[in-house]
Amino acid sequence: MSTCPNGHQSGTDDWCEVCGHRMSAPAVPSASVGSGAAARPVASGYDPDATAAAEPCPTCGTPREGLALFCEECRYNFQTHTATTFVPPPSPPSPGFPPYQRYESQRSRPSQMNRPAEPLAPEAVIPGEGGDSGDFLLTPPSSPSAPASSSRTSGAAAPEPVAAPAAPEVTTWIATVAADRDYFTAMMARSGPDATGLYFPSYSPELRLPLVGNQITIGRRRHSTGEAPDIDLSRAPEDPGVSHKHAVLVQQPDGGWSVVDQDSTNGTTVNGAADPIQPYLPVPLKDGDRVHVGAWTTITVARG
In the chain, the domains with their CATH numbers are 1-27+44-86 (no CATH), 173-303 (2.60.200.20)
- Region 150-173: mean pLDDT is 65
More confident site: 294 or 68: 294
User: Phi, psi (5° rounding) for residue 38?
Assistant: -85, -5
Residue 78: is its pLDDT beyond 50? yes
Q: What is the DSSP letter of 189?
A: H
- pLDDT of 42 reads 41
Across 1-13, average pLDDT: 76
Higher local confidence (pLDDT), 75 or 104:
75
Mapped onto helix, strand or coil, the DSSP state of residue 258 is: strand
Q: Is residue 291 a contact partner of residue 248, using CB atoms and an 8 Å limit?
A: no
pLDDT, greater one: 197 or 267: 267
Q: Does residue 112 carry a pLDDT above 60?
A: no
- Give the pLDDT score at 182: 92
Least confident of 53-57, 90-94, 227-231, 280-284: 90-94
Closest CA to 288 of 269, 264, 271: 271
Residue 267 burial (CB count, 10 A) = 19
Q: Is 220 or 98 the better-scoring residue by pLDDT?
A: 220
Task: Count CA atoms within 13 Å of residue 177 on its CB side.
Answer: 22
140 CA to centre of own chain: 54
For residue 60, count other CB atoms closer than 10 A to its CB: 12
The percent of residues in the chain predicted with pLDDT above 70, rounded, is 62
Q: Which residue has the higher pLDDT, 86 or 80?
A: 80
> Which pLDDT does position 279 carry in this prediction?
93
pLDDT in tens, 181-219: 999 888 888 877 766 778 888 888 899 999 998 999 999
10 Å Cβ neighbour count for 218?
29
Rama region for 124: left / alpha / beta (φ>0; ψ in -120 to 50; rest): alpha
Which of 60-64, 123-127, 180-184, 258-262 shows the lowest per-residue confidence on average (mean pLDDT)? 123-127
